Structure 1
């Protein structure tokens, strides 16, 4: 928040890239380092806790294979490994590159080539971290059977409605509808009236 509220520096002409310099205000660099440090603490806690949960579930399913929930434990264990895997793919590259990016902003006399490489790398890993918001719904769809069933039901209902509407509107000329006769069994009272 302090970095967003602060007024931006004036752009300097003849510069290879308008790079935010942190030489004058070291507190910004330390704040950035603190945020990166907080990420690594949270990441460590996430990996350890999900890993321990997954290992306990795997151990329980292997120790008691005849247990009624052994298959569920096994599936849940593998699902619990998938969450930190996705978190690692999306966020670890960004926070790894971020360290070098902050250091380069603090240095004086950094070459334009190095700045451009770090900037492009930062943009790529930033895209990976933004990809997490796209992958979360996919993860819920793949890992949660109740969400998967609900989504498939919604998609099927919509798709079937569109097909039905398409078939109804595609016929330009009125066609004779086939007549369907339904034979209903007679009740005793109806049979008595016929006789």
Structure 2
């Protein structure tokens, strides 16, 4: 009976053709890499008097660079042209980078939303947690927490398996690695749910506070702030919610709690599709930097205005 299950399990190829996904990953990588480099350039040339929001956005930028390191490996593996050792390296290292980026992004988006909400409320009782020192300490704690959750997926020894065309990353894991993989998935889902509550509540409070000034003369500025908050909320939901809806049943299929091969294939396709949507946050983060970091926005505006003045001067001459 066991041999029959093992043979049926081995012939269940969930991968199929992943080529269509790679074209979108190419686009995400190119746009995200250019945007991240531009953001890095702007942040490194901005003034050192940074607020909490800028500190959180810089941590988000660091996570984005981790993702840009991982995407080329995923593209090569999904194209089916990777060597066996490269497949192992991707499963053990670069695939984990993708999830580090995802949850670092989720957490710091929560902090950005909370900080903007506190700025809107403008309560002196909450001033202490908006200091730069607190933001830096909180950022260090977040990185330590996420790395403690994710790094064991890299460090727990894997087993040697026979080289074959279709292999899942979970196939390399020993029993301890499989258990930690499942545990880290559910911890990650808990992080997502908590951060989602923070983002939705913070943005709701900020919108309600700003909407009270709808009759004032400066409402056109307030309206822009409302639009920014709604865009961030919508982007967060679109990027991260679908993946986490799929992740629980997909994790169960990896653990062989879900046994049906056809269902496993559909869950894998759904996971890959929603993961691609999650990774696309790499393209939208530079827009987030522009709207939520005054230092970043002023540097970009100043740079392009200087270039425009130079161009006009050269034309006049």
* TM score, norm. by length of structure 1: 0.64
Q: CA shift at 1:103, angstroms?
A: 0.9
Partner of 2:182: 29
Larger RCO of the pair (alpha carbons < 8 Å, separation 6+): 2
The residue number in structure 1 matching 2:249 is 100
Does 1:75 pair with 2:227? no
Match of 2:139 in 1: none
Say whether the 8 Å CA contact 2:159–2:174 is kept in structure 1. Answer: no
Conserved? CA contact 1:61–1:74, under 8 Å: no
Question: Distance in 1 between the 2:164 and 2:185 partners?
Answer: 27
> By percentage of residues, which structure has more helix?
2
Per-residue deviation, 1:129: 1.6
Unmatched tracts of structure 2, length 5 or more? 1-150
**Structure 2 counterpart of 1:191:** none
* Pairwise CA distance, 1:81: 1.7
> Alignment RMSD, CA only?
3.5
Contact map agreement 1:12 1:18 (CA 8 A) in 2: no
Cα drift, residue 113 of structure 1: 3.4
The residue that corresponds to 1:42 in the other structure is 195
Aligned to 1:130: 279
* Greater Rg by CA: 1
Q: CA shift at 1:43, angstroms?
A: 0.9
Q: Does 1:53 align with 2:206?
A: yes
Call closer, same or farther: CA 1:143–1:41 in 2, change over 3 Å.
closer
Which consecutive residues of structure 1, in runs of 5 or more, have no partner in the other structure? 168-179, 181-195
2:259 aligns with one of 101, 110, 130: 110
Are the aligned partners of 1:57 and 1:77 in contact in 2 as well (CA < 8 Å)?
A: yes
Corresponding residue number in structure 2 for 1:7: 157
Distance 1:57 1:154 in 2: 31
